[in-house]
Amino acid sequence: MKKQRLFSFLTIFALAAALAVGCSKSNEQANAEPAAKGGGEAVQTATSTTSGPVAPDFQLRGVDGKIHKLSDYKGKVIILDFWDTWCPPCRMEIPDFVKLQEQYGKKGLQIIGVAFGRQGLDAVKNFMEQYHINYPVLLATMEVVQAYGGIQGIPTTFVIDKHGRIYQKYVGYRPRSVWESDIQTLLAQK
């Protein structure tokens, strides 16, 4: 029993430490981390003929209490953002996501936030209200975190094309121009 508790504690501690380390990276460090498509830290822009791996489908409970599936948004360009309320780079990015959802939502964009909720559901709800979040926010589970390769730092954001394939993966803050470039490229594709 003690071993099981110790293992559980160490697992939770390791996940929290990994998230804190990822969140605390400077913008320059986060922006400079290249990696291979579908894997590592920041996937370089794909060409219109390149398709990445299929984004894992999921069922997650939203802050609204409803169950949401990634497949509910099939045919849309999706920005899937893993974040939390205490993370400064996440706080910097979310106002841009709100504006992008407003600007491109009717054109086929769907932003989905996946909150870790380390400070509790009420903190997530308060954050959503404070930042006027206009897109669904879901609550992360370990299964979904693992399905997306294990989240090593936040924000970790996946850009998914209309066919459900991962086009980009970013770890760390990105300016609005990066998201807008990806969105415009993917919305123009058939």
Q: How many domains does the chain have?
A: 1
The helix-helix angle for 88-104 and 2-23 (nearest 10°) equals 70
Task: Tell me which of 152 and 1 has the higher pLDDT.
Answer: 152
pLDDT in tens, 14-31: 444 444 444 643 333 333
Q: What's 44's domain CATH number?
A: 3.40.30.10
The helix-helix angle for 176-188 and 88-104 (nearest 10°) equals 40
Q: How far apart are the C-alpha atoms of 56 and 45, rounded to whole Å?
A: 20
pLDDT in tens, 110-130: 999 999 999 999 999 999 999
Question: Taking a C-beta distance cutoff of 8 angstroms, is the pair 117, 105 a contact?
Answer: no
Q: Report residue 178: phi and psi, to 5°.
A: -65, -50
Domain that holds residue 145: 2-188
